[in-house]
Chains A and B, each alone.
Chain A
Amino acid sequence: MTRITVTVNGAREETAVEAHESLLTTLRERLGLPGSKNACEQGECGSCSVLLDDVLVCACLVLAASVDGREVRTVESLADGSALDPVQRAFVETGAVQCGFCTPGLVVATHALLRENPEPSLAEIREALSGNLCRCTGYGQIVEAVQRAAKTMYLHGLDDE
């Protein structure tokens, strides 16, 4: 076992991890954060997407021991209490959620996309989310959700000025 210190959703956490353990296991089984999902453990589905030092990664492909001293943000950190963020709200409103197993990963991936590219084209949305599998929706309402989120975030940005 190795001890690591990692900032998760703004809080400093210290925990012991196995040498072969993935960040996904640490989050889900040790830190009580099951929001990131495990649907393949092979980097194929994106259900476990988190931000590691602000970079989108599959938590199942990251060795827990390697995140010592770094910062992780998971889906659990996005809403402010009961208030959803614009991406979450858009997913709810457009019907982009069915069983929802893919949803945490998609919400995190959408955040990563919109921060880099606030006005993505359809092709850019498709490219950016191509690592996230969804078996329920056929993706149509997910695309709509991303477009709606981009629009509200853009309008919101104008409000702030």
Chain B
Amino acid sequence: MTLAPPRPGARVKVRGVIGEPAPREDAVPKVKGEFQYASDLWREGMLHGATLRSPYPFARIRKVDVSAAAKLPGVRAVLTQDDVPGKKTYGLMDRDDQPVLADGYVRFVGEPVAVVAADTIEQARAATKAIVLEYEVLEPTFDPIAAIQPSAAKLHPKGNVLERVRILHGDPAAKADVVVEGEYEFAMQDQAALGPEAGLAIPREDGGVTLHVATQWLHEDLDQLAPCLGLPESKVRIVLSGVGGAFGAREDTSIQIHACLLALKTRRAVRMTYGREESFFGHVHRHPARLFYAHGATKKGELVFVRATIVLDGGAYASSSSAVVANAGSFAAGPYRVPNAVVDCVGARTNNPPTGAMRGFGAVQSCFAYEAQMDKLAKACGLDAVEIRMRNGLVEGDAIITSQPLVGSAPIAEIVRRCASLPLPETAAHRDQSELPGGHANVTRGEGVVRGVGYAVGFKNVCYSNGFDDFATARVRLFADAEGPLARVHTAAAEVGQGINTVQLQIARTELGIERVELETADTNVGSAGSSSASRQTWMTGHAVLQACREVRQELVRRAEREGLTLDRTDLADLLDRPIEKTVTYRHQDTEKRRPDGQSRGHVAFMFAAHRAVVDVDVETGLVKVVQVATAQDVGKAINPLGVIGQIEGGIAQGVGLAVMEELIVEKGRIRNASFTDYLIPTILDMPPVIADVIEHPHPDGPYGAKGVGEAPTISSTAAVVAAIRAATNRDLERVPVRPDDIVFGTSSRSGWRIAPGDDPRRAVRG
């Protein structure tokens, strides 16, 4: 029996239900400074952990001597690879190619080699400097295309090809009247969450350990941690601490294993917190990419084929490269009807810093290239940017290049049209110097300023794909206390700032028809919720909470019937002499595993957004001011409209950042700008006003029709801003972020590799 949710107003009006703009449940402690983040954790007598990292991109460790370090004042433990009691390597989702501490080799600058626990952080840091290491420096490889050639030196026993995905759709030899080509470069972006990596590990009486940590995925941390510690999972508990933003960077572990090793060794609580510089070395980044594209169309601008070769730089270790590569390939042609496609997408191992998850996850890289291509095609066919996208946009029932048909989405043409019809900003008046590109730093009078407008559309999967067993568990307990009925919801969903906690509360209030709902702290004492990534928590944990609440309600109905009562007219407390507790594990519909030709129904659902950017570019100085971003996004159902707007605006900020300022500069494997002074993220002055049209076209399988929200805003906003700069400057701008030099001099960013789009990049030719 399925039950409809209680009609609001049936008994008393319940506030904070779905569809209402609901303030976050944790906003009050946050504005008061009382919310405890992982870096605020503190315990009497705790020790402080510090990490010694590799100064070389590739080297063999000849000798390690920790004896002098161990004798320094306050030092309680100095650990290297030999001290790891269990499995020596770890990695996301069984990738397992990364040493807990360097295993005789170091493969990137910043790789952890040893960890120290001491009474104070200063003592711990001093001890890392006293560790004696002898390295034999090896020849590193930084160019991802070079790394995957058959002749390349092997950087890791598992080889240099982290993943390869080939997609063959329709006729690989299809011909078209109009063909446009391009090579694109995508630099390294960082998640740059404000809260640093941090946690507190506390040893337990039973030989186990409890870890309080800022993470995105408690149970995946547990899966990786326990074997390395040599403990059964029952002896490791992981508790979610306050998380200061994540954006993918916390999908991999950082301090987790190290802090637990130190705590178990010293039998003392150990806190580890990275400073800002170490944070840049201590988490994965977004994959840089090289993309080689050819698009073919009829003279009317109808797509005939897309061919693409994409090489993503995975850095020294696998992390989530495999799934990023799969996404970049899957979405390589964009949300368009493409009858014929050949895509070859490879993730390369190099001696650059490891890359992994970041908001948009593979879809952002290809979107930048395919949207540039669509504009080229529009020009070649004499169409404008809106027209070409409306003409080719997918509608329900159309298939993407993996032959998976689209379900439960507004037509792309409608999303584009609604985005294009949002009001444009006033034409530039430049009354004030601060409104010029570059603001007060612009010493001109604005004579070189040109306005440009650009469009882009993007899409991506919601939830995990390609046969992954994706599930989420929720436990809901309803009971009565002196004040009446109260529900407690327990899940392991990581609230990282995105707002899943409020969504869970809203769903429980809606389903149970009561206002008093509380959340238990997320931890591993309840089943997994999966990761707070892939825009999946509202769908997955949302469904789990919804179904657990419905089971609780069914029990209420049974109890009411036994008493001869009608639920709607009964005080719930009268039915709750015993609490009701239900635990539900939700699984989304099965997805198909990848096939060799890339043709499979690998995804659960898709989300879509269109962006229009308006920029002012000073073509003489190369400075850019983003004047406005407009967006239309299909969210299915806005469970919390306040949160939806926050996700949209915040995601666009990261897209704008990538378009014009955000780049981790890596030279010879070393990050050169590991600080907020040098890695620039948008300030309030850099962010334009955002106007958003939130489309609610329900998905039949989403909770209340909701799809994910968080990633779509980052996917095409970057491409839209760059398109706008192209419109203002007439430059090709085949690289992102766009630098002043690219605008003023039209600097080329070609790789020097010759690869025909669609060809295997493992057989590339130089020149």
- Scan residues 41-70 of chain A and give those whose CB is less than 8 A from a CB of chain B: 41-42, 44-45, 47
In the assembled complex, how far is the CB of residue A113 from the closest CB belonging to chain B, in whole angstroms? 12
- Chain B positions 229 through 260: 1 when the CB is less than 8 Å from some CB of chain A, otherwise 0: 00000000000001111110000000000000
15 new A-B pairs (CB below 8 Å) besides A44-B676, A78-B32, A143-B684? A40-B675, A42-B677, A97-B24, A98-B650, A99-B496, A100-B30, A100-B35, A100-B244, A101-B194, A127-B434, A132-B683, A135-B192, A135-B194, A135-B245, A140-B645
Greatest chain A CB density within 10 A among B194, B499, B651 is at: B194
B676/A37 in contact, CB under 8 A: no
Q: Are B276 and A42 in contact (CB under 8 A)?
A: yes
B645 near A101 (CB under 8 angstroms)?
A: no
Once bound together, how far apart are the Cα atoms of A135 and B35, in whole Å?
18
Interface of chain B residues 603 through 655 with chain A (CB within 8 A): 642-643, 645-646, 648-654
Q: Mark A120-148, 1 if CB is under 8 A from B, else 0.
A: 00010111011111111111111100000
A84 interface residue, CB < 8 Å from B? Answer: yes
B201 shortest CB reach to chain A, Å: 19
Closest to A36 in B: B33
A84-B32, A99-B195 given as contacts; is B244 within 8 A of A139 (CB)? no
Sample of 7 A–B contacts (CB below 8 Å): A95-B645, A101-B244, A126-B685, A133-B683, A137-B646, A138-B653, A141-B642
CB atoms of A76 and B33 under 8 A apart? yes
Indicate which residue in A78, A101, A125 contacts B195 across the interface (CB closer than 8 Å). Answer: A101
**Smallest CB-CB separation from B273: which chain A residue?**
A38
Residues of chain A with a CB closer than 8 A to B191's CB: 135
Q: Which residues of chain B (487-508) have a CB below 8 Å from chain A?
A: 496-499
Q: Are B649 and A100 neighbours in the complex by a CB distance under 8 Å?
A: no
Contact (Cβ within 8 A) A44 B677: yes
Minimal beta-carbon separation of B440 from chain A (angstroms):
10
Query: Is A153 close to B, CB under 8 A?
Result: no
Selected contact of A76 from candidates B26, B34, B37, B42, CB within 8 Å? B34
Query: Which of A41, A94, A130, A137 is the one whose CB lies under 8 Å from B685?
Result: A130
Contact assessment for B31 and A45 in the assembled complex, using a CB-CB cutoff below 8 Å: no
Question: Do A75 and B690 touch (CB < 8 A)?
Answer: no
Q: Is the CB of A92 within 8 A of B27?
A: yes
Main secondary structure of the interface of B (DSSP, over half): loop
Q: Nearest chain-B residue to A18 (Cβ)?
A: B122
Point out the residues of chain B lying under 8 angstroms from A112, CB to CB: none
Q: Which residues of B679-737 are within 8 A (CB) of A?
A: 681-685, 687, 689-690
Rounded to whole angstroms, the CA-CA distance of A42 and B279 in the bound complex is 14
- Is the C-beta of B193 less than 8 angstroms from some C-beta in chain A? yes
**Complex: how many Å from CA A107 to CA B651?**
22
Q: Determine whether the beta carbon of A138 is less than 8 Å from that of B685.
A: no
Asked whether B30 lies within 8 Å of A95 as measured between CB atoms, the reply is no
Complex CA gap A28/B27 in Å reads: 21
Structural contact, B193 and A99, CB atoms closer than 8 A: yes
Which A-chain residue is minimally distant from B655 (CB atoms)?
A138
> Across the interface, do A101 and B37 meet the contact criterion of CB distance under 8 Å?
yes
**Contact of A138 with B675 in the complex, beta carbons under 8 Å:** no
Q: Say whether A13 faces chain B, with CB atoms less than 8 Å apart.
A: no
Q: Which residues of A have CB within 8 Å of B677? A: 42, 44
Tell yes or no: A26 within 8 A of B by CB: no
Enumerate chain B residues within 8 angstroms of A135, measured Cβ to Cβ: 191-194, 245, 247, 650, 653-654, 681
A141 with B646: CB separation less than 8 A: yes
Q: Does A74 contact B (CB under 8 A)?
A: yes
**Interchain CB contact under 8 A, B434 and A123:** yes
Chain A nearest CB: distance from B4 CB in Å? 29
The answer on a CB contact under 8 Å between B676 and A133 is: yes
Which A residues touch B246, using CB under 8 A?
Answer: 99
CB atoms of B23 and A95 under 8 A apart? yes
> In chain A, what residue has the closest Cβ to B675?
A42
B45 CB → nearest A CB, Å: 14
| Residue pair A95, B21 in contact (C-beta under 8 Å) | yes
Q: Is B103 an interface residue (CB 8 A)?
A: no
How far is B677's CA from A12's CA once the two chains are assembled, in angstroms? 35
Name which of A94, A140, A143 has the most chain B CB atoms within 10 A of its CB. A140
Tell me whether A79 is interfacial, beta carbon within 8 Å: yes
Q: Does A35 contact B (CB under 8 A)?
A: yes
Contact in complex: B194, A126 (CB < 8 Å): no
Known A44-B677, A97-B24, A129-B684: A35·B194 in contact at CB below 8 Å: no
Docked Cα-Cα span, A35 to B35, in Å, equals 8
A72: chain B residues at CB < 8 Å are: none
**Chain A min CB distance to B675 (Å):** 6
- Given A88-B31, A136-B497, CB of A39 within 8 Å of CB of B434: no
Alpha-carbon separation in the docked complex, A39 to B275 (Å): 8
Chain B residue nearest in CB terms to A129? B684
Q: Are B196 and A100 in contact (CB under 8 A)?
A: no
B613 to chain A, nearest CB (A): 14
- State how many angstroms separate the Cβ of B399 from the closest Cβ of chain A: 34
Question: CB of A34 within 8 A of chain B?
Answer: yes
A29 CA / B690 CA spacing, docked (Å)? 39
> A102 to chain B: which residues have CB within 8 Å?
194
Q: Decide if B432 is an interface residue (CB 8 Å cutoff).
A: yes
Q: In the complex, which residues of chain B have a beta carbon less than 8 angstroms from the beta carbon of A28?
A: 40
A134 CA to B682 CA, complexed, in Å: 8
Chain B positions within 8 Å of A14 at CB level: none
Choose one: A84, A129, A130, A137; the contact of B28 (CB below 8 Å): A84
A75 contacts which of B32, B39, B276 (Cβ < 8 Å)?
A: B32
Cβ contact within 8 Å between B37 and A136: no
Q: Is the CB of A40 within 8 A of B276?
A: yes
Q: Once bound together, how far apart are the Cα atoms of A129 and B685, in whole Å?
A: 9
A112 to B705, CA, bound (A): 44
- Nearest Cβ distance between residue A159 and chain B, in whole angstroms? 23
